[in-house]
C-alpha cells in the first residue's frame, strides 16, 4: 500500500491535526515510460498553509482530499524509462506520500557523492534558491552594506545571511530564541542576531546596525517588519519574501507604517521563487561549491515517518523547527 496524507478540511487559523487524513492507497501501477520511486525525504514549508486555504493566492489551492503537496527526494525502485534506473536518487514534487509514479519529466537526478541528497530540497533547493534570488537579484548587495534578515536561523534566512557575508556585507539576523541567535552568530558567522521575543527591537537594531540597514530580507511581517523600517537607510531594498506571522491570522493584523519607504526612497518588491526558475542553474553553480566547502552551512531538523508531518508543519508556525524542516519518510539509502 502507498500511505498518503491528504487535506481533510481547511484550517481556520492555525492548522490542526484533524485538518489532515492518512489514507492507505493501492500502489500505483506502472506503464511503459514510468518511473516508480519511494520517498526518502519530504520538505515541509510555510507556503503549504496557503495551499490548504481556499483564499486566492499566487498558486491554486489544494482541493479537499488532495494529497498534500511538497518537494521530495526519492529513490527509484522500478523504472520502465531508459533515463532512470532502480537505485537512482531523484528530486521532484511528489507530496506527502510514500510512493509516486510519473514519466520522469518532473524529476531531476541527484549525485549522492557530491552533496547529501537531502540538500536538494533545502540549501540547494527551493529555500536556497529563494535566498539567492531575493538577496542577489532584488537586494543587490554591495560590499560594506548591512543586510538584516528575519527568521534568520531557518531554511531561507540562514542562507541569506551567509550569502550576504560571502558578498562582503554585514549580516544581522532576527530569530526567536537564544539558541537560534547563538547558532546564527557562532555557527553561521552573522555579525549579530536579535531575539525578537525578548529584545527591545528598535534599540537592538540600532546597536546591531550602527550604519542603518541597506537591505531588509523580510520573512515574517508584523512588529518585526515595523521595527526594521525604523532603521532602513536611504535607497534601501526590501525583498518581500514571506510574512509568516500572518499566515494563520483570522483578523486584520494591521500593518507597519510604510512612510519610511517614502522618506528613504526605499524599494520593496515581492517575489515568488518559482517565477525565477531561469536563475536556478546559476544558483546551483554558485552555491553548490560553497556548501561543499563548508563556506555555507546548513542545519536540518528531521522528523521520522510521514505520520509526523502534520505536527511538524504546524511547528513551523510556532518556531519549533530549528533549521530546514524535513520528514524522513523512509531510510536514506545514501547514508550509512
Ligand atoms: P523557516 O525554516 O524559517 O521556519 C519558519 C520560522 O519562522 C520558524 O522557525 C520561526 O522562527 C519563524 N516564525 C514562525 N512564526 C513566526 C511569527 N509569528 N513571527 C515571527 N517569526 C515566526 O522557514 P522557511 O525558511 O522555509 O521560510 C521563511 C519565510 O520565507 C516564510 O515566510 C516563507 O513563507 C518564505 N518563503 C518565500 C518564498 C518565496 O518564493 N517568496 C519561498 C520560500 C519561503 P523563530 O523561532 O526565529 O521565530
How many angstroms separate the alpha carbon of residue 322 from the centre of ligand 1? 11
DSSP character for 323?
S
**Ligand 1 residue neighbourhood (C-beta within 6 Å):** 45-47, 127, 130, 151, 153-157, 175-177, 180, 219-220, 241-242, 244-245, 271-273, 316-317, 319, 321, 324
* Cβ–Cβ under 8 Å, residues 156 and 127: yes
Average pLDDT over residues 67-94: 98
Q: If pLDDT is split at 50, 70 and 90, which confidence band does 49 have? A: very high
Contact 327, 312 (CB under 8 A): yes
- Rounded to the nearest angstrom, the distance between the alpha carbon of 154 and the centre of ligand 1 is 7
Share of the chain above pLDDT 90, in %: 92
pTM comes to 0.96
Nearest-CA residue for atom 19 of ligand 1:
245
Average pLDDT over residues 245-271: 86
| Gap between the terminal Cα atoms of the chain | 26
pLDDT tens digits for range 137-193: 999 999 999 999 999 999 999 999 999 999 999 999 999 999 999 999 999 999 999
**From ligand 1's centre to the CA of 172, what distance in Å?**
16
Over range 291-295, report the average pLDDT: 96
44 Cα–ligand 1 center, Å? 11
3-class DSSP assignment, residue 294: coil
Instruction: Return the number of other C-beta atoms located less than 10 Å from residue 311's C-beta.
Output: 14
**Mean local confidence (pLDDT), 188-217:** 98
Question: With bands split at pLDDT 50, 70 and 90, how would you rate the model's confidence at 252?
Answer: confident
Burial of 198 (0-12, 13-18, 19+ CB in 10 A): exposed
259 pLDDT above the threshold of 80:
no
pLDDT > 70: what percent of the chain?
100
Q: How far is the CA of 124 from the centre of ligand 1 (A)?
A: 17
Residue 117 CB neighbour total at 10 angstroms: 23
Model pLDDT, residue 253: 80
What are the chain's domains? 2-122+298-328 (3.90.180.10), 126-274 (3.40.50.720)
Give the atom of ligand 1 at the shortest distance from the alpha carbon of 45: 26
256 versus 225: which is more confidently predicted? 225
Distance separating alpha carbons of residues 138 and 135, to the nearest angstrom? 6
pLDDT of residue 262: 79
Picking from 217-221, 226-230, 265-269, 320-324, which range would have the lowest pLDDT averaged per residue? 265-269
Cα–Cα distance, 236 to 4 (Å, whole number): 45
Counting from 1 in the atom list of ligand 1, the atom nearest the Cα of 245 is 18
* Alpha-carbon span 203 to 199, nearest angstrom: 9
Is pLDDT above 90 for 254?
no
Residue 146 Cα to ligand 1 middle (Å): 21
Amino acid at each position: 500500500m502507498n500511505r498518503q496524507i491528504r487535506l481533510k478540511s481547511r484550517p481556520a487559523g492555525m492548522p490542526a491535526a484533524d485538518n489532515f487524513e492518512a489514507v492507505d492507497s493501492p500502489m500505483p501501477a506502472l506503464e511503459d515510460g514510468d518511473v516508480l520511486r519511494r520517498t526518502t525525504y519530504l520538505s515541509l514549508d510555510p507556503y503549504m498553509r496557503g495551499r490548504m486555504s481556499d483564499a486566492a493566492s499566487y498558486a491554486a489551492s489544494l482541493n479537499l482530499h488532495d494529497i498534500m503537496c511538497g518537494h521530495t527526494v526519492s529513490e527509484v525502485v522500478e523504472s520502465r524509462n531508459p533515463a532512470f534506473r532502480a537505485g537512482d536518487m531523484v528530486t521532484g514534487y511528489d507530496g506527502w506520500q510514500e510512493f509516486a509514479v510519473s514519466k520522469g519529466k518532473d524529476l531531476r537526478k541527484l549525485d549522492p557523492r557530491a552533496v547529501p541528497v537531502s540538500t536538494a530540497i533545502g540549501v540547494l533547493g527551493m529555500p536556497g534558491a529563494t535566498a539567492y534570488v531575493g538577496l542577489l537579484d532584488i537586494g543587490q548587495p554591495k560590499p560594506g552594506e548591512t543586510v538584516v534578515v528575519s527568521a534568520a536561523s531557518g531554511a531561507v534566512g540562514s542562507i541569506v545571511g551567509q550569502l550576504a557575508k560571502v558578498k562582503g556585507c554585514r549580516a544581522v539576523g532576527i530569530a526567536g530564541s537564544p539558541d537560534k541567535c547563538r547558532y546564527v552568530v557562532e555557527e553561521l558567522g552573522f555579525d549579530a542576531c536579535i531575539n525578537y521575543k525578548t529584545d527591545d527591537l528598535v534599540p537592538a537594531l540600532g546597536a546591531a546596525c550602527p550604519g542603518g540597514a541597506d537591505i531588509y530580507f523580510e520573512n515574517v511581517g508584523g512588529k518585526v517588519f515595523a521595527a526594521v523600517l525604523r532603521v532602513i537607510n536611504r535607497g534601501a531594498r526590501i525583498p518581500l519574501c514571506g510574512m509568516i506571522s500572518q499566515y494563520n491570522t483570522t483578523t486584520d493584523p494591521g500593518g507597519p507604517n510604510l512612510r519610511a519607504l517614502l522618506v528613504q526612497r526605499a524599494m520593496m518588491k515581492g517575489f515568488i521563487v518559482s517565477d525565477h526558475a531561469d536563475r536556478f542553474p546559476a544558483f546551483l553553480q554558485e552555491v553548490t561549491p560553497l556548501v561543499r566547502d563548508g563556506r555555507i552551512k546548513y542545519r536540518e531538523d528531521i522528523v521520522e515517518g510521514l505520520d509526523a508531518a502534520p505536527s511538524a508543519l504546524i511547528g513551523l508556525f510556532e518556531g519549533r523547527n530549528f533549521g530546514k524542516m524535513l520528514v524522513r519518510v523512509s531510510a536514506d539509502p545514501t547514508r550509512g
